[in-house]
């Protein structure tokens, strides 16, 4: 199920949101920071019991989504060990479905793939991958952009600092349901009057 977090009220997320960085006071602040490209969004599957563990950051890993890609399989066939990564997004597209946890991350250490061997660094500068901080000519897996990275992906090989986490399964949807029911009653009443 896809969730549009931009429409959630503070009341709906009061038990689902943990903010670790005092620059942010609410979900609205976090959404604004994502839209203004100040922080990134990482979506994943997790259990609520681990929600506070995210205050220590998100460690690079070969998650289920990345492990099954053709790029990773091809890399393994050539004897190159895939590099664990943390992926993030500049928007909310990956939120929902089976990914029930949204982690808001600092941009520090991330770079964005622009395709054609170019990357955008955290400060907005565009450079060739070879000149990026992640490039490592000593490691086969990092001579070029790592396997599984696609154009538009933001990624890092370092632990990503979390500023907040939102656990979607703990959202109290009763406010939304009440608003929908109210809107339906108004619509029905309007249709009866016309």
- Torsional class of 116: left (φ above 0), alpha (ψ -120 to 50), beta (otherwise): left
Q: From the CA atom positions of the chain, what is the Rg in Å?
A: 20
Q: How many CB atoms lie within 10 A of CB 95?
A: 20
How far is Cα 118 from Cα 131, in angstroms, rounded to an integer?
A: 9
Interval 154-177: pLDDT, tens: 999 999 999 999 988 888 877 555
By residue range, what is the domain housing residue 64?
5-193
- Asked if the model's pLDDT at residue 183 lies above 90, the reply is no
Q: How many separate domains does the chain show?
A: 1
pLDDT at 95 over 90: no
Instruction: Identify the band that residue 21 occupies on the pLDDT scale cut at 50, 70 and 90.
Output: very high
d(CA 10, CA 75): 44
Q: What is the distance of C-alpha 54 from the center of its chain?
A: 13
CA of residue 169 relative to chain centroid, distance: 16
Residue with tokens 């890609």: 69
How many CA atoms lie within 13 Å of 149's alpha carbon, on the beta-carbon side? 31
Helices (DSSP H) in 47-149: which residue ranges? Answer: 64-67, 70-77
Asked whether 97 and 108 are in contact (CB, 8 A), the reply is no
Q: State the CB neighbour count (10 A cutoff) for residue 20.
A: 16
Characterise 102 by phi-psi region: left (phi > 0), alpha (psi -120 to 50), beta (else): beta
Please give the pLDDT value at position 138: 87
pLDDT in the model for residue 111: 96
């Amino acid at each position: 199920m896809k969730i549009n977090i931009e429409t959630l009220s503070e009341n709906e997320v009061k038990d689902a949101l943990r903010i670790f960085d005092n620059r942010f006071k609410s979900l609205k602040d976090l959404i604004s920071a994502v839209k203004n490209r100040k922080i990134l969004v990482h979506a994943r599957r997790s259990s609520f019991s681990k929600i506070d563990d995210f205050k220590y950051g998100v460690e690079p890993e070969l998650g289920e989504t990345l492990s099954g890609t053709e790029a990773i399989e091809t890399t393994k066939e050539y004897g190159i060990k895939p590099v664990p990564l943390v992926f993030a997004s500049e928007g909310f597209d990956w939120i929902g479905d089976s990914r029930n946890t949204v982690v808001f991350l600092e941009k520090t250490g991330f770079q964005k793939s622009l395709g054609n061997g170019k990357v955008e660094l955290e400060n907005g500068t565009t450079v060739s991958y070879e000149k990026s901080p992640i490039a490592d000519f000593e490691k086969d897996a990092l001579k070029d952009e790592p396997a599984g990275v696609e154009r538009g992906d933001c990624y890092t090989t370092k632990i990503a600092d979390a500023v907040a986490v939102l656990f979607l399964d703990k959202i109290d949807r009763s406010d939304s349901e009440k608003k929908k029911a109210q809107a339906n009653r108004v619509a029905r009443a309007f249709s009866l009057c016309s």
